[in-house]
Chains A and B, each alone.
Chain A
Amino acid sequence: MLVVENLDKTFHTGAGDVHAVQNVSFDAKDGELVAILGASGSGKSTLLSLLGLLDAPDRGSIEIDGTQLANLDSAGRTKYRSRQVGFVFQQFNLIPNLNARENVKLALEFAHWPKDDRDHRANELLGIVGLDAGKADRRPAKLSGGEQQRVAIARAFAAQPQLILADEPTGSLDKATGQKIVELLREVATTQKATVLVVTHDEKIAKKADRRFEIEDGVLKEIA
């Protein structure tokens, strides 16, 4: 269960203050797929950074299953990212000199997953996301965009996090592949009982979510 209350983030630039996130409050249940719609520069990526503890909020609280995260120190935030959060990026961001399985195992390593179970867990997840078994040993450059995103999703879910943050996960994919990826996210969210927040500007993708929010000038509101 994710509970966000009164989250604020302002960037101080030479051109003046930019209120990227303003008084954002919402909650999401385990296994729920939440879509956040917004145009470029609306603050949706900043919101994901705050939720993923990549950035610190100026004000507000983030709570997962009753644990308050806003006050964690650097080591605590690193530990949180490795075990409680999974990221899916628009550009996949797989490590280029590691193959698909090794990319998934990397997340398991950071989460201190038992060593002798990492291969099994990586293969299991690559199977869940539908990557052909023969492609697990391929490096990202030898995989298609859709396949790379499948590997990225497997990596995000590897350590059984409670929160998956997907930033434009279909932005680099064709429509058909994008639809499949969103369906995959929904499916894995259900089976892994994780909350999935998908940031997108694609209405069709957003319609597949359980709940939809729209963010504009840093202000978040739920839409029907």
Chain B
Amino acid sequence: MRAVGVVVILAVAIALSISMLIARDAVTNKINSVRASTGNTITVSPKGFFGFNGGGTPLKESDVTDLLSIPNVTAVQESLSEELTSTKTSLSSPTPAGSLGGQFGFGAGTGSGGEFGGSSSGTTFSIPIRVIGTNSPGNAVVGGANGGGSEKLTSGAAYSPTSTADVAIVGSSLASKNKLTVGSTFTAWNTKITVVGIFSAGSTFTDASVLMPLATVQKLADATGDVTSATVTVNSLNNVASADKAVAKKLGSAADVTSTQATTEASLAPLNSVKTISTYTLVGSVIGAAIILLLSMLMIVRERRREVGVLKALGAPNKSIISQFIAESTTFTILGAVVGLVVGVLISSPITSALVSASGGTSSNSGFVRRAGGGGFGAGGSGFTPPAGGFANRGTGNFHFGGFSNTITQIHTSAGWSTLGFALIAAIVIAALGSTVAAATIVRIRPAEVLRSE
């Protein structure tokens, strides 16, 4: 009966350690997966600037270009975001304003924010056309450094990165609305612009925008040397944090600097807490199991002190008696490990979920809530496109404001060979520790004292 009790207690401790190991592995995998999906980029935008919202003063292209001198920075992609109201372009927005579009089409402010006041006139408000001036149309279109990933050229070609021509790549829905094809023209800022390519991102909001050479937009919008966003690429994820600080220091209070890594780490904090808790619990439960076995074996040896004394009197060497007790403790441990492994695997998933929930990582942890028919920043139609692994890319060429596509609570637990290996090693460690004290006690037993007490 006592042996059953020892096995049950060991099984509970081992089950706890196994479940903690599985939880730790699952959380670690999740953290690595999220980190792997995080770009090694830093986003720079004017202070107070947010997409087409907020205020602030544009950054100077020379300041942003100077960021290339920062160690480990490999590329800087600048962009200038502008809006074309109906008075500045021949284009019509494919997006119906709707009630939300009208609601967000507020009037002009000051500084850069003043540029984003749409043609608001009660219910006659029309959605302005977004223009992104960028020298990296390939990256802007296909995602790349901007953290997007769903946009693709459907016809034509991207313009040259050094282009200063009056050319544009237009979104597919905008092209469709205005019957534009490659080679077509439209007017913007009273200038004839030639369409050289059409892209599609599968989002009404994004597909209603226009990409043009940065210099062209700066010239036409009378914003020479201005940029509203820059994406700084760092050579390694390990160097993002230091580069982030250097960029912030270099630009001072003029800019908001956000790295995707920093945002990711903040979001991963609950998972890191779970990882820490599970690690400590894992170690604690293994030590606990070892102490349980150690005390149990000590109790068993003490209770069988006379038997040990008799065996010694009969000429049994210490190693023979110790072997017998090690076999017993190993049997207890193996039985406990087998039961604990099965139970641990079964309870690992609910325990992991409970730990993640208790640590504050809830399933609504994505950055923004998607609202059908309710676009942000003056747009009607559908909401923001949450890119895979993307974070608030403010004012870059992509317009993406999304959360995790894989929410942090969607954690898959599984037990592999490593778990079985751990169970085996833990069992050996526990049995060894449990047997050590028993062995030491056995060696100290003097048969004469045991038999004298008869």
| Mutual binders A and B | yes
The chain A residues found within 8 Å of chain B, CB to CB, are 45-46, 49, 52, 54-55, 75, 78-83, 85, 87, 89-91, 93, 95-96, 106-107, 110-111, 155, 167
Which residues of B are found within 8 Å of A45, using beta-carbon distances?
Answer: 451-452, 454
B310 contacts chain A at the CB level, 8 A cutoff:
yes
> A81, B446: Cβ atoms under 8 Å?
no
- B427-454 CB mask vs A (1 if < 8 Å, else 0) is 0000000000000000000111001101
8 Å CB interface, B42-61 against A: none
- B22-50 CB mask vs A (1 if < 8 Å, else 0) is 00000000000000000000000000000
Which residues of B are found within 8 Å of A90, using beta-carbon distances?
Answer: 454
Residue ID in chain A nearest B315 by CB atoms: A82
* With A54-B446, A54-B447, A93-B306: A49-B314 Cβ-Cβ less than 8 Å: no
> A83, B447: Cβ atoms under 8 Å?
no
Give Cα A75 to B320, complex, Å.
13
B4 contacts chain A at the CB level, 8 A cutoff:
no
The chain B residues found within 8 Å of chain A, CB to CB, are 306-307, 310-317, 320, 446-448, 451-452, 454
Which residues of A are found within 8 Å of B316, using beta-carbon distances?
Answer: 78, 82, 110
* Chain B interface main SS type: helix
Residue ID in chain B nearest A50 by CB atoms: B448
* With A82-B315, A110-B316: A95-B451 Cβ-Cβ less than 8 Å: no
> A49, B315: Cβ atoms under 8 Å?
no
11 other A-B residue contacts (CB within 8 Å) besides A45-B454, A82-B314, A110-B314? A45-B451, A49-B451, A54-B447, A54-B451, A78-B316, A81-B313, A82-B316, A95-B307, A110-B315, A110-B317, A110-B320
> A167, B451: Cβ atoms under 8 Å?
yes
Q: Which 4 A-B pairs have the closest CB atoms?
A: A82-B315, A54-B448, A81-B315, A55-B448
> B315, A83: Cβ atoms under 8 Å?
yes
- 17 A-B residue pairs with Cβ-Cβ distance under 8 Å, sorted by A, are A49-B448, A49-B452, A54-B446, A55-B446, A78-B315, A78-B316, A79-B315, A82-B314, A83-B315, A85-B315, A89-B454, A96-B307, A106-B311, A110-B315, A110-B316, A155-B314, A167-B454
User: Which one of A54, A82, A106 has the highest number of Cβ atoms from chain B below 10 Å of its Cβ?
Assistant: A54
User: Which one of B306, B316, B451 has the highest number of Cβ atoms from chain A below 10 Å of its Cβ?
Assistant: B451
Give Cα A3 to B448, complex, Å.
21
Which residues of B are found within 8 Å of A93, using beta-carbon distances?
Answer: 306-307, 310, 451
* With A54-B446, A54-B447, A93-B306: A87-B452 Cβ-Cβ less than 8 Å: no
Give Cα A85 to B452, complex, Å.
17
User: Which one of A83, A85, A90, A110 has the highest number of Cβ atoms from chain B below 10 Å of its Cβ?
Assistant: A110
Which residues of A are found within 8 Å of B446, using beta-carbon distances?
Answer: 54-55
Give Cα A93 to B450, complex, Å.
11
* With A93-B306, A167-B454: A87-B448 Cβ-Cβ less than 8 Å: no
Tell me how far the C-beta of A91 lies from the nearest C-beta in chain B, rounded to whole angstroms: 6
Which residues of B are found within 8 Å of A78, using beta-carbon distances?
Answer: 312, 315-317
Tell me how far the C-beta of B228 lies from the nearest C-beta in chain A, rounded to whole angstroms: 85
> A52, B313: Cβ atoms under 8 Å?
yes
Give Cα A95 to B316, complex, Å.
13
Which residues of A are found within 8 Å of B312, using beta-carbon distances?
Answer: 54, 78, 81
User: Which one of A45, A46, A80, A111 has the highest number of Cβ atoms from chain B below 10 Å of its Cβ?
Assistant: A45
Which residues of B are found within 8 Å of A49, using beta-carbon distances?
Answer: 448, 451-452
Tell me how far the C-beta of B294 lies from the nearest C-beta in chain A, rounded to whole angstroms: 23
Which residues of A are found within 8 Å of B307, using beta-carbon distances?
Answer: 93, 95-96
Give Cα A38 to B306, complex, Å.
24
> B314, A54: Cβ atoms under 8 Å?
no
Partner of A54, one of B306, B313, B454: B313
Tell me how far the C-beta of A77 lies from the nearest C-beta in chain B, rounded to whole angstroms: 9
Give Cα A96 to B307, complex, Å.
9
Which residues of A are found within 8 Å of B452, using beta-carbon distances?
Answer: 45-46, 49
Which residues of B are found within 8 Å of A81, using beta-carbon distances?
Answer: 312-315
Which residues of A are found within 8 Å of B451, using beta-carbon distances?
Answer: 45, 49, 54, 89, 93, 167
Give Cα A89 to B447, complex, Å.
12
Tell me how far the C-beta of A54 lies from the nearest C-beta in chain B, rounded to whole angstroms: 4
Tell me how far the C-beta of A99 lies from the nearest C-beta in chain B, rounded to whole angstroms: 16
Residue ID in chain B nearest A48 by CB atoms: B451
Which residues of A are found within 8 Å of B320, using beta-carbon distances?
Answer: 110
Residue ID in chain B nearest A85 by CB atoms: B315
User: Which one of B313, B314, B317 has the highest number of Cβ atoms from chain A below 10 Å of its Cβ?
Assistant: B314
Give Cα A8 to B307, complex, Å.
28
Which residues of B are found within 8 Å of A52, using beta-carbon distances?
Answer: 313
Tell me how far the C-beta of B251 lies from the nearest C-beta in chain A, rounded to whole angstroms: 79
Give Cα A78 to B452, complex, Å.
18
Residue ID in chain A nearest B320 by CB atoms: A110
Residue ID in chain B nearest A107 by CB atoms: B314
Residue ID in chain B nearest A159 by CB atoms: B315
Which residues of B are found within 8 Å of A95, using beta-carbon distances?
Answer: 307, 310-311
> B454, A91: Cβ atoms under 8 Å?
yes
Residue ID in chain B nearest A56 by CB atoms: B448
Tell me how far the C-beta of A88 lies from the nearest C-beta in chain B, rounded to whole angstroms: 11
Tell me how far the C-beta of A212 lies from the nearest C-beta in chain B, rounded to whole angstroms: 23
Tell me how far the C-beta of B108 lies from the nearest C-beta in chain A, rounded to whole angstroms: 94
Tell me how far the C-beta of A109 lies from the nearest C-beta in chain B, rounded to whole angstroms: 9
> A87, B313: Cβ atoms under 8 Å?
yes
Which residues of B are found within 8 Å of A75, using beta-carbon distances?
Answer: 317
User: Which one of B310, B313, B317 has the highest number of Cβ atoms from chain A below 10 Å of its Cβ?
Assistant: B313
* With A54-B446, A54-B447: A87-B314 Cβ-Cβ less than 8 Å: yes
Tell me how far the C-beta of B453 lies from the nearest C-beta in chain A, rounded to whole angstroms: 10
Which residues of B are found within 8 Å of A55, using beta-carbon distances?
Answer: 446, 448
Which residues of A are found within 8 Å of B314, using beta-carbon distances?
Answer: 81-82, 87, 106-107, 110, 155
Give Cα A213 to B134, complex, Å.
116
Residue ID in chain B nearest A81 by CB atoms: B315
Which residues of A are found within 8 Å of B310, using beta-carbon distances?
Answer: 89, 93, 95
Tell me how far the C-beta of B342 lies from the nearest C-beta in chain A, rounded to whole angstroms: 29
Which residues of B are found within 8 Å of A54, using beta-carbon distances?
Answer: 312-313, 446-448, 451
